[in-house]
Amino acid sequence: MHVIDLPEQITVGAERLRQTGISTEVTPDSILDVFEAWAAALGARDTADIPGVAFLRLWLRRGTLEPIITRELGPGALHADWMEDGRARLKVYPIGVVGHWPAGNIEIQPILSMTCALLGGNACLVRVPGDLVDQTRRLMQKLDQSDAAQVLTGRVFIAAFDHARQDLQEAMARAVDGAMIWGGDEAVLAVRALPFAHWVRLAVFGPRMSIAAIDAGIWCDRYEREPWCRRIARDVWQFDQQACSSPQVLFLERKAGHSPFEFLQDLKKAFEAENRLHPRQTIHPALTSAICQARTAWLLANPANSALFPAGPDWTLLLGSGSEIPKPTQGRTLTVLEVDDLFDPISRLDEGVQTLGLAMKDPEREERLASAAAKRGVNRIVKLGRMHVFVPPWDGVDLIRPMVRMVRHVRSTE
Amino acid sequence: MEGLEERIDRLLASAPYRVPPEERSRALLELLRDELGYACERNQALHNYVRHWPTNFQLAQSIADLPYLPVGMLKAQPPLSLVEPGQIKRTLTSSSTTGQLPSRVVLDSPTARRMTKGIVVIVQDFIGSSRRPYLVVDVPGSVRGGPELGARGAAIQSLQPFATTVAYGLSLGGRGELTLDLDKVLEFANNHRGSSVLVYGFTYILWNHLVKPLLTDGISLDMPYVHILHSGGWKRLQDEAVEKRAFNEGLARVFGCSNDSVIDFYGLIENVGIIYPDCPGNKHVPAFGDVIVRDPLTLEPVAVGEQGIVQVCSVLPTSFPGHLLLTEDMAEVVANDGCVCGRRGTCFRFVGRVPKAEVRGCGNIDSRR
């Protein structure tokens, strides 16, 4: 971890990365060996408590990444082989130094972003948001311990500096060949406006929100309902509902003879159980205020609205009806909206929605619903309980391929 | 059973800082519970909120267990009201930052009367009950008559019961900017130099439009018997790196008085009839209200020495649901009783506004596409 104060520190660091990248070739297969060892090391007590580490360990496993490499880069990419393509052959090469601007709300995001570019053989210049410096340092120490041959550590430069230091941001932009940019609109726009060279590849993962939907066939079945409620609670709790893949609204299909309160009571139990397992250790006072406001505003807005919440800000369930998505509160606040037909809210979605978490009894109907959502701009349609599973394409974009070059060789002897 | 009005008036008539804490809490809890019931009967939306509160307020054992409203809810349009439109005599509006809606607080005659009385009994405890010449460091337009009154105007007006005469020390310049009317201020000083006087202004206005120009010109008003009250918060002066001590010293030099003559008070337009002056170290809660400082993590009241989000409580309003309001301010509880100044009950120190959350991550959608 480098605490940066001068633009030259970034320029020199990036140049060293570039030289390492040119002088040493690394195959995805050898990277996966290091990742496996890193995943094992992250199970230690001093890193296991970092939010998202369980997920990161799963992500780093060969079993997770091998199929992703093969799908995105082709069957020969794992061993950096040339792949036959008709009369030509193709091979994956890195683009060079990839800069990473992760969001400040997901503890493991600097690492996740970096691993995507490393798998393409790139070197990485990572700016770590101020709030994530300590966690990132601990996670990187485990990589140091797991990479005795320095296959990867020589290809990574972690930079810590204030986001307001425009001179350092610009130095970083000038030093890279690719950029992976994550975060809210303000942050993303600021990074995109930096003076990148014309050849720089940009992969932008801007602000999105996610929703969930359950059909009547699922929630009206009291035996099925309970496990689905547990899955929803897990999706809400992970990343403290701050991720773009976190559900903010749940659409519940109405059914005559069944009260939504049957469902809400089970969901409440699931939220309480999840809260016992993963209580908050800290909260920003502004989020507490926002949660209190959301509860009150919801109940004052319409006497027909209902809600369940404890005395503290631990979680909130807001119940109403309608197809409009209200402004997300986050902070484990889920708005449950009753609708006559799930196709109604889905037909109103736009590209602001990233993930649709589903629980549906009828597979044929689910396929139609998924197609309708995809047409409206949704990029991920997944089973509830798996909304955060970080598998590309993410936001409709591959994660490794944008930061590699596919080199084509047509033999002159052909 | 004694009516609400009589019970409120009885609390309002008691010495504001002499009631033992347990006795005060008991009386407040009972009255606030009944006022909540009264409010719910008159406002269906509020009733919906209160009935969803995790516990039944009728069974609450402490004021901290009663359902409270975030103060932002008073920004609703039309304003939250417990009276018929014809009964509304005045609407108070808060000062709001750019792009934010102001709070709107509706007052009927009884609430307006109690608001005046509340401020009077509090301020009396700090400066005495006599009437005296009153210099307002603001422009006359701040208290323009009409159905709506802003925060500055409300604060200025609330001190008028202490005034024999009122003078305004600022005027509007050609571009509508606040300008020191030096002749007026000097005339006021010359006329009342030897007598007790009252001065009020918003904190940043006092500093920028009176203290700074007079210090620059080396003018002292030489008014040793002055009481200077100010409010409105420190944010603007903090931005200018002016600390409380420098502020008090500057005012004392300009007026030729001791630093103790300067009294800062915390108050919200939504918390009608209650202000919290410094004693000088701590802020105190009168018999007809309470302050609860809540831990942001649990929303439970914090222990002495800890900081949290301020909730203000007041029995005074009956025209709008301003009895239990969770503010957007932070404070530290200094003691639950026993301040050296002799005032009984909770005392606290204001810390600042709830800081804005800076993390704006990938899930933070402010605007849809």
Beta bridge partners of A338: A252, A321
Of A104, A289, A309, the CB nearest to B361: A104
B289, B315 in Cβ contact below 8 A? yes
B345, B292: one domain = yes
User: Residue B205: helix, strand or coil by DSSP?
Assistant: helix
Q: Hey, of B81, B309, B364, which one would you mutate to test binding to chain A, going by the most A CBs within 10 A of its CB?
A: B364
User: If you count residue pairs, one on A and one on B, with CB atoms under 8 Å apart, how many are there?
Assistant: 148
CATH of the domain at B14: 2.30.38.10
Query: What are the residues whose beta carbons fall under 8 Å from the beta carbon of A223, sequence distance 6 or more?
Result: none
Mutate to test the interface with A, among B56, B329, B365 (most CBs of A within 10 A): B365
Question: Inter-chain contact A244–B367, Cβ cutoff 8 Å?
Answer: no
Q: Residues of A with CB below 8 A from B358's CB? A: 104
Given a contact cutoff of 8 angstroms between Cβ atoms, the answer to whether B299 and A288 are in contact is: yes
Determine, for residues A292 and B328 on separate chains, whether the beta-carbon distance falls below 8 Å: no
Are residue B146 and residue B226 in the same domain, yes or no? yes
For all residues of chain B together, what is the average pLDDT?
Answer: 90
If asked whether residues B139 and B170 sit together in one domain, one would say: yes
A353-359 vs A380-383, strand pairing mode: parallel
- Residue recorded with tokens 């230091």: A165
For the segment A61-69, the average pLDDT, to the nearest whole number, is 96
Q: Hunting for tokens 């090469």 — which residue is that?
A: A93
B126 part of a folded domain: yes
CATH (domain of A340): 3.40.309.10
Give helix B4-13 / helix B21-42 axis angle, nearest 10°: 150
Beta carbons of A182 and B328 less than 8 Å apart: no
If you measure CA to CA, which chain B residue comes closest to A248? B363
> Which residues have C-beta within 8 Å of that of residue B239, sequence separation ≥ 6?
none
Gap from B222 CA to chain A (nearest CA, Å): 45
Per the structure, how many domains does chain B have?
A: 2
In this structure, the answer to whether residues B261 and B299 fall within a common structural domain is no
B175 in a structural domain: yes
User: Are A231 and A306 found together in one domain?
Assistant: yes
DSSP string, A98-148: EEEE--SS-TTHHHHHHHHHHHTT-EEEEEEPGGGHHHHHHHHHHHHHH-T
Alpha-carbon dihedral sign for residues A285, A290, A295, A300 = positive
C-beta separation of B70 from A296 below 8 A: yes
In a domain, A390, yes or no: no
Residue appearing with tokens 């053989």: A121
Cα–Cα distances in angstroms (integers) from residue B323 to residues B16, B34, B274, in the given order = 17, 11, 11
Tell me which residue of A301, A328, A310 sits closest to A236, measured CA to CA: A328
Residue numbers of A between 172 and 201 with CB closer than 8 Å to B: 182-187
In a domain, B362, yes or no: no
Q: What is the pLDDT of residues A169-188, one digit of tens each?
A: 999 999 999 999 998 888 89
**Under a CB-based contact definition with an 8 Å cutoff, are residues A214 and A252 in contact?**
yes
**C-alpha span between A134 and B189 (Å, rounded):** 59
pLDDT, tens only, B173-209:
888 888 999 999 999 999 998 899 999 999 999 999 9
Range of the domain at B72: 4-83+282-353
Mean pLDDT calculated for residue range A245-261: 95
- Specify whether the CB–CB gap between B248 and B259 falls below 8 A: yes
In a domain, A184, yes or no: yes
Answer yes or no: is pLDDT of A343 > 50. Answer: yes
Query: For B208-226, how does the pLDDT look when each residue is reduced to its tens digit (9 = 90+)?
Result: 999 999 999 999 999 999 9
pLDDT higher than threshold 60 for residue B369: no
Is residue B263 predicted with pLDDT exceeding 60? Answer: yes
Alpha helices by DSSP H, B60-202: 109-127, 151-158, 182-192
Residues 219-238 of A with CB under 8 A from B: none
Two structure tokens written together for B131: 């009437």
Beta bridge pairs of residue B228:
B199, B262
Query: Crossing angle of helices B109-127/B151-158, nearest 10°?
Result: 60
Q: Is the pLDDT of residue A410 over 80?
A: yes
Within a domain: A388: no
Which of A210, A280, A286 is opposite residue B297, by nearest beta carbon? A280
Instruction: Please indicate, yes or no, if residue B311 is contained in any of the structural domains.
Output: yes
Nearest to A184 among B48, B296, B362 (CB): B362
In a domain, B107, yes or no: no
**Number of domain units in chain A:** 2
Beta bridge mates, A209: A353
Residue B147: pLDDT over 70: no
Rounded CA separation A286/B191 (Å): 49
Question: Which residue from A285, A296, A312 is facing B355, i.e. has the nearest CB?
Answer: A285
Contact assessment for residue A14 and residue A157, using Cβ atoms and an 8 Å cutoff = yes
Domain holding A24, by residue range, is 2-206+395-410
Domain ends where: B266, B291, B313?
B266
From chain B, which residues contact A within 8 Å (Cβ)? 44-49, 52, 54-55, 69-70, 72-73, 76, 80, 296-300, 308-309, 326, 328, 330, 354-369
Kindly state whether residues A200 and A236 are assigned to the same domain.
Answer: no
Residues of chain A with pLDDT > 70, as a percent, come to: 100
Q: Sign of torsion, CA A268 A274 A277 A278? A: negative
Give the DSSP letter string of B232-244.
S-SHHHHHTT--H
Neighbours of A150 (CB within 10 A): 12
A179 plus A117 within the same structural domain: yes
**For B295, nearest residue in chain A (alpha carbons):** A285
**What secondary structure does DSSP assign to B310-351, as a single string?**
EEEEES--SSSS-SEEEEEEEEEEEESS--TT---S-EEEEE
Contact B320, B82 (CB under 8 A): yes
Q: Which residue of B has its CA nearest to A313?
A: B298
A394 secondary structure, DSSP code: B
Measured between CB atoms, does A67 come within 8 Å of chain B? Answer: no
CATH code, domain with B222: 3.40.50
For B361, the closest of A184, A297, A306 (CB atoms) is A184
Rounded CA gap, B26 and B4, in Å? 16
Task: Determine, yes or no, domain membership for B33.
Answer: yes
d(CA A184, CA A205): 9
Report the alpha-carbon distance of residue B224 to residue B194 in Å, rounded: 8
A155 CB burial (10 A radius; 0-12, 13-18, 19+): buried
Burial classification of residue B225, based on how many CB atoms lie within 10 Å of its CB (0-12 exposed, 13-18 middle, 19 or more buried): middle
Distance, in Å, from the CA atom of A100 to the CA atom of A205, rounded to the nearest integer, reads: 11
Phi, psi of B91 (to 5 degrees): -120, 125
pLDDT in tens, B342-354: 999 899 999 988 9
Q: Tell me, what DSSP letter sits at residue B356?
A: P
Are B138 and B212 in the same domain? Answer: yes
Helix (H, G, I), strand (E, B) or coil at A166: helix
Please judge whether A283 and B367 are an interchain contact, meaning their C-beta atoms are less than 8 angstroms apart: no
List alpha helices for A302-402, DSSP H.
Answer: 343-346, 363-375
* Pair (A293, A277) in one structural domain: yes
On whether both A238 and A117 belong to a single domain, the answer is no
B367 pLDDT more than 70: no
Q: For tokens 């008991």, what's the residue?
A: B26
Q: Are residues A134 and A258 in the same domain?
A: no
What CA–CA distance (Å, rounded) separates A148 from A132? 25
pLDDT reported for residue B1: 47
pLDDT by residue (tens digit) across A359-378?
A: 999 999 999 999 999 999 99
Per-residue pLDDT tens for A205-216?
988 999 999 999
Interface contact B365-A352, CB threshold 8 A:
yes
**Local confidence band at A24 (pLDDT 50, 70, 90 cut-offs):** confident
In a domain, B364, yes or no: no
Looking at residue A120, its pLDDT comes to 96
Instruction: Look up residue B275 and give its two tokens.
Output: 């202000």
Residues A262 and A329 in one domain: yes
| A142, A42 contact by CB (below 8 A) | yes
Per-residue pLDDT of B68-124, as tens digits, reads 999 999 998 888 999 999 999 989 888 766 567 888 999 999 999 999 999 999 999
Contacts of B321 in chain A (CB under 8 A): none
Residues from chain A that touch B54, judged by Cβ atoms under 8 A, are 309-311
Return the CATH number at A199.
3.40.605.10
Q: What is the per-residue pLDDT for A104? A: 85
Q: From the candidates B103, B362, B367, which should be mutated to test the interface with A, based on the most A CB atoms within 10 A?
A: B362
How far is residue A269's CA from residue A192's CA, in Å, rounded to a whole number? 44
Set of chain B residues whose Cβ sits within 8 Å of the Cβ of A292:
70, 299, 326
Look at A185 and B366 and tell me if their CB atoms are within 8 Å: yes
Do B283 and B333 contact (CB within 8 A), yes or no? Answer: no
**Are the Cβ atoms of B52 and A308 closer than 8 angstroms?**
yes
Do B178 and B250 belong together in one domain? yes
Q: What pLDDT shows up at residue B240? A: 83
Co-location of B226 and B344 in the same domain: no
Give chain A positions within 8 Å (CB) of B52: 299, 306-309
* Residues B194 and B128 occupy one common structural domain: yes
- Say yes or no: A301 contacts chain B, CB-CB below 8 A: yes
CB contact under 8 A, A246 and B46: no
Q: Would you say residue A15 has pLDDT above 90? A: yes
**Domain boundary residue among B238, B266, B294?**
B266
Q: Are residues B142 and B247 in the same domain?
A: yes
Same domain, B300 and B230: no
CA dihedral A272, A316, B298, A246 (to 10 degrees): 90
In a domain, B273, yes or no: no
B120, B262: one domain? yes
Residue whose entry in the numeric block shows the structure tokens 């210090």: B215
What residues are paired with B90 via a beta bridge?
A: B107
- Looking at the domain assignment, is residue A153 inside a domain? yes
Q: List chain B residues with CB under 8 Å of A108.
A: none
